[in-house]
Structure formats: structure tokens, C-alpha cells
Structure 1
Amino acid sequence: MLLSESAPELHINQQQLRAYKKQLNADFIWGVSASAYQTEGAYNTDGKGPSIWDTFTNEQKNKIKDRKNANIACDFYSRYEDDLLLMKSLGINNFRFSISWPRVMPAGTGEVNAAGLGFYDRLIDRCLHYGITPWVTLYHWDLPQALENKGGWTNRQVVGWFTDYVTVCVKHFSDRVKHWMVMNEPMVFVGAGYFLGLHAPGKRGMKNFLPAIHHAVLSMCEGARAIKAIDPDAEVGTTFSCSHIEPYRNLEKDHVAAFKVDALLNRMFIEPVLGMGYPVETLKPLQNITQYILQGDEYKMKYDFDFIGIQNYTREFVKHSWFTPYLNARLISAPKRKVPHTLMNWEVYPESIYQMIKKFDAYPGIKKILITENGAAFEDKHHDTLITDHMRTTYLQEHIEQVLRAKQEGAKVEGYFVWTWTDNFEWAEGYHPRFGLIYTDFNTQKRIIKESGLWYGDFINQ
């Protein structure tokens, strides 16, 4: 069943939740997240080059719900000032956003677009003017199409291309930006884009997947080294998607299947970064990745990040399946299990975020954890100038409660960012699922603060 107003309410102990928060030190970070491609629009404005998502949404329209694209999206490129004023009005003073690689370097390498840098200059300056700390993600999936034409993430040269791009950004913005996230969810952009073909650039198969994995890991670490070389005092992290994994049945074959899926979804990128290598013992098909590992890569593919961002929305149940290649495992969806779920068909299971904090916290090489994305898409209810979204508010409350529970137990979790600030373009799902604290009317670009946004602003400022 879809979680609805008529479903049994998930009861939050508001008093306990606020008591947990009061015990936090003043350095705990509360913020919101967004990304360039999903919000900016202005896809061919002021010298910006095409990204793989521009190409994918405009040329492979059948792969996007309702054949939509983000050519305009939230028009954040023109409306960032108003959005920052809204953010300030709610007392939200940490904003995670990304820089568009093809806006800064239209061909992906070589010439730098001064107008592109100028936009982020204005955005960062206005953030600081309003007392909002910028947390900048350098890669949130919008690879320049010019580089994809050369193989994209399957081409080892992407490591150098990416490092050059990072260097340009950090040299230009490091006087004002002190918090950097190198990549957003490499497992998603590599898996969905270079194995399943569901996301840009729409490639499929192990021949694309394996080199893209390795080159993303190398780029993540080399990018971090480039940041520190320019600004040794910068705080540098990177982000990983993760889901709590459980076997569907208490059968050995389901336990084995769940173990494999956990290795794929949760361990694939964090473990090599920590110097543990790829989980090839669990995922035998990964053994062929060795052909892409060159001499010296053992050093290059690990890095001691200042923090790790984890992004969690749900848990997954896994069942053995003879018919699924490579893994012999398949996910059993929340609708099929008849449990409360969001518009993305993701189960509402707040303890998943607690379990993932504990899982990552157990790695000895992780210094600090931030929740860099957590949120939900539900149907909003419209009442003139008021948008009520009790289900989203409840979702956030319950997940924050689990974050603070982990913190109380000693986990190194030091911050929480809601996904997302405004309703935006949600990749293959188009504009159907709305995750925002702020409602966006995509016809008029009018913004309305939702009930969840009012609650979040009130909560983090008490």
C-alpha cells in the first residue's frame, strides 16, 4: 500500500526527538541538498556545453517518464537569489549544491567558460552574504557529452580530465569554499548509466561497467588529492548511496543473495577507497576488473577522506533468483511486500538509516560521517498558499530520530542534509516524484514552502 493519510500513523516522540537534538554539540550540521542538472535549467545558456543528461533526455525521450527533460527544470540559474532568500527565511544555513562540469568546461577539458565560473561566483557570494555555507559537489552525474564521445567513464583518460576540471574549480573558488564533495553516488551513475542503460549515457553490460567502476574510483581519489594540493585546509569528502539489505526468506540461498547485493550496492566503492580493494571474493564477476588495474593503482585508488557522505532512503529485501545474471539475486519491491512506500516505490523504513550509519561507522578508516541525502517523494496536498505534506514531515522526523539515535550511541555522524531543497527533475522519473521542502510550480516557477519545510526550519533552529 502507498503510505497515505489514511494509513496508520508512525508515531514520533517529538519531545524525545527535540531532547536528542539539544544534546548535540553546536557543530552538528543541518542543511539541504540539490544538484546542478536537476535544478539549474539554462541548458544551453552563456556558453554551457551539452552534458550526457542533456543528450539522453532530448534524444532518448522514451527513457524518461512523460518524455520530460531538465532544459528549464527549476530555472535555478536565474532564480537562485529568491531560493537563497527562502532558505535564509527558514534558518537553513548549509546548502549542498553541485557545479556543472560542462558549464565550466564546455568540452570537458581545455578551454574554461568564464560565464560558467561567473554564475557559481555569484551563487557562492550570495550564499555567504546570507550566512549560508556552501558545500560543493564537483560531480553530480552531468559528464560533458564531448567526453562521453571519447568513451566517458570507460576511458581511463577520464581520470586526468576530471582532475583538471577539479583543479580549475578549486583554484577559482577555494577562497570562499571550504567544504568539497568529490562525487555523488558513483554506484548509481556507473550502475544505471554504464550497466543497466537506464540513466545517461544509456550504456549496458560488463564491458562498460567494470572500467567505469575503476575509473570512477581513481577519479574520486585523484580529485581529492588535487583539492588538498591547492588548499590543504579544505574539508574534503565524497558521497555514497546505500540501502540496508535483508534476505527475503530465512533460507541460506536468500542470505547468500543478500550478501552479494550488499557487496554491490554498499561495499563496491567505499572499500577500495579505504584500501580494502574491490569485493571480488563476494562478487566473482568482478574478477575481470583486474585487467583495468595498472601498476600503481593500488595507491591511486585509495584516499583518507575527511568525511564520508552517506545517502539513504530505504531498505531492500533480496531473494535468490536463478534467472538473474551475475548475482542470482533479485529485489522484492515494497508494493509486492505490501508495506508502506513512497512514490518511488521505496519502503518507508526509518531504521535503515541507523543501520547504514552503524555499518559505515564500523570501518576503521572513516573519520566522520555526514548524511548528505535523505528524503521522500509523496503526493502533496494543496490548500491555496499552503502545501501540506504530513507524510514527508513524518518521514523526516523518524529518520532524523534514527540519525540521532546512532549519534547517541557514539557513531561518528556529524550532520544531516535533506534531499531536496525544491521539487526538481528526478532523472528517469521526470517531474512526477516530488522530494522538495519547497513546492515548485514548473509552469510558473512559483515556490511555496511546504509544511515539511516549515517544520524542518523550526526544528533545526530550536
Structure 2
Amino acid sequence: MSDDPLFPADFLWGAATSAYQIEGSPLADGAGPSIWHRFAHTPGRVLNGDTGDLACDHYRRLVEDLDLMAGLGLGAYRFSVAWGRVLPEGRGSVNPKGLDFYRRLVDGLLERGIAPMLTLYHWDLPAALQDRGGWLNPDSPGWFADYADLMFRALDDRVPLWVTLNEPWVVTIPGHLDGELAPGHRDLFEPPRVAHHLLLAHAEAVAAYRALGRHRIGLAVNLEPQHPASASPEDRAAAARRDAFINRWFLDPLLLGVYPPELAALFGPAWPAFPDADLKRIQAPTDFIGVNYYSRGLVRADPDVQPLGAVRVTPEPAPRTTMDWEVYPQGLTETLLWLKERYANPPLYITENGAAFADGGPLDGETPDPRRVDYLRAHLLAAQEALAQGVDLRGYFVWSLFDNFEWARGYGQRFGLFQIDPVSLARVPKSSARYYRDLIRRHRGGSRGRGA
């Protein structure tokens, strides 16, 4: 189509998933349980009592799924490693069968001309480490560095792109303040320490990578521009606080060496005095930033919502997904330009972008999902605009390859390019899969791109 986006020949085209959301078989072949296995098996935590026990059965359908990716023409595939599949206790003895699964995954990608982007942590901390305090334990950065070192030694000769942590903000706030996600804690004093340990974990993993890695390593963060719901001073101040709370909490220490001062004011006595030496370690150079973008934040002041004193609202009327997120593609351009201006134009990948819609059943072997096609096209045009304004954007990864286990919302939210038949587990392509395949073909078949 004439209004479809055009990108450079070396742009990296990919799709993304995470281990607990698609693999299934969480305890197979010697794997240890994760906090998400525990959380999903706790009554009342996940909608309809859903778990990741089967998910998309990717663990047992690996070759089928690799062929499916090749059929899309992907230049790259972003996946995560289940830490407990490789190290059942989180530390110590390696599970050879678990590590072999990821070796076979990486080798299968390379055989099909697809560059692996490996995420070390996508929220599934080994349960044995949670029993030792999890991310609240000051030893946790060292645990993570040891695990990262193991994976680098096993796979860096074949993996060109590494992500340390996916969305550490989600681990910090829904996991330790709101209690909505694993491990399900609600404690004002936990998030500052968890976030700090996550940043140190990233830094320690990067240091380990510099000692032996050959390629590139970065961090993936969820970002959204924060807009006041009105012109009132209260709403403008609330939007500024939420910007610090979400967008700058992890990027400012990583790229500027300081925490946003708003955070100490928000958390009060729950905010510790962090050592300057820690911040220097955290600021060690990172090769790229992964941007996970879905929508904007439209913010209204609300003193009853603590500690932020603000709440996100959805405008009426506005197009929205079944997650109740506003469809706001121009926010992606805004976010990418903000990164360029605030942090001196770092190399970027859009590591997640996609939408959940209530797709119908398949027709003639394909599930029609015109709203997802429109969503992807609009957001790619927004990314193209950012590129035209000088943003160093190197690739785009659709979230997600499959309809999968959407955390506390179970299987009701469908983000995939492929529908999963609930009985046969057959992969049924959607219109968006065909759209994405054709788009990649028009870009010379999907180059591996810069950094891959």
C-alpha cells in the first residue's frame, strides 16, 4: 500500500515473546519453579485460574515454531531464557537439558537466517531465589551476574544482541507495590530497593559481558509520554511526577548517573540514601536501549492514589485495545524523540509494540484482525517519522509472535500475529502476520540489520 512505511535496508525486523508466556512445561526435564509458576498456581491471582503450564507449548514445538518464523521472513527473534530452566535453584548446578533447549533454539534461528536477541530476565525469578529474599536481597545483583556469565559463555558466539532485563519498572511496581504481578507484594518500602538492585544487576551483567562478550548488550524499558488530562496545575504536576516515576526512574541513573529527585519526595522515608559508588557502577556504558511502547499516559491528579498522587485515565471517546489502552501512535514518535534529546541519541530498538484485540475465528485458514494491522501500520509510520528526525532507531519487534499467557489476565488478551487453537494448539496466522510478512519482503526480505 502507498501509505505503508519505508525503512532503511539494514533495519532489523523481528518479533518478540517471553519464556513463561509461551514455553509451557515449566518444570520439565529438571527445571525449577519460578515466582510466576507459584503466583499463577495461587488461587485468585490470575484470571480464570489460568497458568503457564501449557501456554503455547513452544518447549515441545520448537522446530514447528522456528519454521513459522522463517515463513514470516523475520530478520530477528527476541526471546527470553527461563532462568530456572537453566539453573533450577537460581545458582549452583546447571541443568544440561534446560541449557540445551536454548542452544537448539539459537542454532535453529541461525540455520534459518534469523538473528537471536536474547533477554536474560523477563520476570520469572527462580522460586528458590525468592525464598532468599528475591530482588530485595543485596546479593541479587551477584546472582544475576553469575547467571548472565553462564549464558554469555554458552551462547555469545552465536547471539549478537543481549537484553539484561525486560521492563524492570514492572518488576518493581506491579510486583512489589501494587501486588498485581509476581511475587505479589504490597509494601511502600520495597520498590526503591528492588529497583536499585535491578539496576545493579544490569550493571553487573554488563561488566561480565565486557569481560568476554563480542557483540552488544542493552536494557529494555517500558515508556509512555505523560500528558496532563487537563490544563490545571494539579494535572500538569501529576503528569510530571508520573514521568519521573515511569520513564526516568531507570533511564536517568543508567544514562545520567542520578535518580530523578521526584522519587525521593514521592517515597519519603521509604527512599534510601544510595551510595554514589553504586550510581557510578550503574552508569557503565550500555550499547542500546530497548523501547517497549504501547500507549501514552493521560494523567489526572488524585491525592487518594499513593505514593504518586496521580491516576492514568482513558479519554472518551478514543480508540482503545481490549487492555483498555488508548491507541496513540503519535506517542511513539514523541517517546523516541524524547530519548534522542534527553539522552544524546542512544542506539534504540523498539523491542515491543503491539495490541490486544478480540479477534474472531479463522476464515479460510486466516484469522482476520484488521484493527491490529491498522495499529501496526500506524505505529511503524510513527517510528519512520522519528527516524526522519534523526533518531538512531535500528529495529522493530512486534509483540507478540503468538497469542499467549498474558500474566494476571490469563489467556483472554490476544496480542499475537498467530492465534493458538485452544484444543489442537495449531498456529493459525492472522491478517497481521500476512501484513508483516509482506512488509518485510518489501524491505528486501528482512536484513539482519545493524548490530545483528
What's the TM-score, normalizing by structure 2?
Answer: 0.95
One-letter amino acid of the structure 2 residue matched with residue 15 of structure 1 = S
Tell me what 2:217 maps to.
236
CA contact (8 A) 1:305 1:366 kept: no
**Cα distance, 1:296 vs structure 2:** 2.1
Q: Check if 1:362 corresponds to 2:345.
A: no
CA contact (8 A) 1:210 1:288 kept: no
How is 1:1-80 mapped onto 2 (pairs within 5 angstroms)?
14-18=1-5, 21=6, 24-59=7-42, 61-80=43-62
Q: 1:181 to 1:385 in 2, by over 3 A?
A: same
How is 1:104-143 mapped onto 2 (pairs within 5 angstroms)?
104-143=86-125
**Cα distance, 1:183 vs structure 2:** 0.7
One-letter amino acid of the structure 1 residue matched with residue 123 of structure 2 = W
How many residues matched?
441
CA contact (8 A) 1:263 1:283 kept: no
**Cα distance, 1:365 vs structure 2:** 4.7
Tell me what 1:284 maps to.
265
Q: 1:167 to 1:250 in 2, by over 3 A?
A: same
**Cα distance, 1:280 vs structure 2:** 2.2
Q: Between the two proteins, what is the percent identity of the paired residues?
A: 37
Q: 1:221 to 1:289 in 2, by over 3 A?
A: farther
Distance 2:348 2:229 in 1: 29
Tell me what 1:351 maps to.
330
Tell me what 1:321 maps to.
302
CA contact (8 A) 1:272 1:302 kept: yes
CA contact (8 A) 1:315 1:349 kept: yes
Tell me what 1:146 maps to.
128
**Cα distance, 1:118 vs structure 2:** 0.6
Distance 2:37 2:263 in 1: 36
1:344-375 deviations in Å (ceiling 9; x for gaps) = 00001111111111111113355201100000
CA contact (8 A) 1:387 1:451 kept: yes
Distance 1:347 1:291 in 2: 35
Tell me what 1:202 maps to.
184
Partner of residue 222 from structure 1, selected from 204, 208, 219: 204
SS in 2 for 1:15: coil
For the aligned residue pairs, the C-alpha RMSD in angstroms reads 1.4
Range with bigger deviation, 279-288 or 110-119: 279-288
One-letter amino acid of the structure 2 residue matched with residue 263 of structure 1 = A
**Cα distance, 1:208 vs structure 2:** 1.4
Q: 1:80 to 1:190 in 2, by over 3 A?
A: same
CA contact (8 A) 1:260 1:283 kept: no
One-letter amino acid of the structure 2 residue matched with residue 426 of structure 1 = E
Distance 1:421 1:405 in 2: 25
Q: Check if 1:310 corresponds to 2:297.
A: no
**Cα distance, 1:294 vs structure 2:** 3.6
One-letter amino acid of the structure 2 residue matched with residue 37 of structure 1 = Y
SS in 1 for 2:182: coil
Distance 1:157 1:366 in 2: 33
Q: 1:111 to 1:443 in 2, by over 3 A?
A: same
**Cα distance, 1:209 vs structure 2:** 1.1
**Cα distance, 1:85 vs structure 2:** 0.5
Tell me what 2:446 maps to.
none
Tell me what 1:7 maps to.
none
**Cα distance, 1:333 vs structure 2:** 2.9
SS in 2 for 1:387: coil
Tell me what 2:354 maps to.
375
